[in-house]
Amino acid sequence: MQESWKFLAKNGEEIMLRYAVPKDAGDIIQTVKSASPERSYVLMEHYGKNPASEKEYITGLDRQRNLLLVALAGSTVVGSLAGLQADGGQRPQTAHILKIGLHLTEAYRGQGIGSEMLNYAIEWAEEHGFKKMEASIFTTNKRSLRMFGRAGFDEECKKRRQFRVGNEFIDEVCMGKLLD
């Protein structure tokens, strides 16, 4: 598989996808945090690492079992996709599962970038022997639910009132895709 490639977003802008490198650490954190004001799209409590620890994480990532992509518009990181082996590969019962998390800055949503990243992750997972992919998505994130559905992910469960954000409870949808 190519480690990087370019395509045109729906707005005509050239986008490059490539594996993340340590120097992307701060930009990845900012991309994830860019969704935090919405709070219904991502729980920032799971992120917020500082750039130094994120660089260390990227440096130590096993690229045979984990995928970390960035999407760039020019030299600006506008999206990131993490595909991480379930349970860190420590449990043989779940080592066949790749868990997906995808984040795009608001200005670049709806441009086909997330779909390109997800399609790359599917191909990568198949080439690396994974048998299933999973994603957990808040029910308030309709755009992501549609995108994962178009990519062949099926709803496997709905965790009702799974997260409390402020005074509101939000359901979470577990989506999965079987790979051959």
Radius of gyration over every alpha carbon of the chain, rounded to an integer in angstroms: 16
Q: The CATH number of the domain where 56 resides is what?
A: 3.40.630.30
Structural domain for 25, as ranges: 4-133
Residue 15 in any domain: the answer is yes
Residue 146 in any domain: the answer is no
Residue 106 in any domain: the answer is yes
| Sequential pLDDT tens for the chain (180 residues) | 788 899 999 999 999 999 999 999 999 988 887 765 444 444 444 444 688 888 888 888 888 999 999 999 999 999 999 999 999 899 999 999 999 999 999 999 999 999 999 999 999 999 999 999 999 999 999 999 999 999 999 999 999 999 888 899 999 999 999 998
Residue 90 in any domain: the answer is yes
Residue 75 in any domain: the answer is yes
Residue whose pair of structure tokens reads 């340590």 in the numeric block: 22
Residues, the chain = 180
Residue whose pair of structure tokens reads 């690229």 in the numeric block: 63
Q: Is 161 left (phi over 0), alpha (psi -120 to 50) or beta?
A: left
Report d(CA 84, CA 126) in Å as an integer.
14
Report d(CA 79, CA 72) in Å as an integer.
7
Report the number of distinct structural domains present in the chain: 1
Residue 114 in any domain: the answer is yes
Please, which residues have CB within 8 angstroms of residue 143's CB and are 6 or more apart in sequence?
A: 109, 110
Closest to 144 measured CA to CA, from 104, 84, 99: 104
Q: Using the 8-state DSSP alphabet, how is residue 128 labeled?
A: T
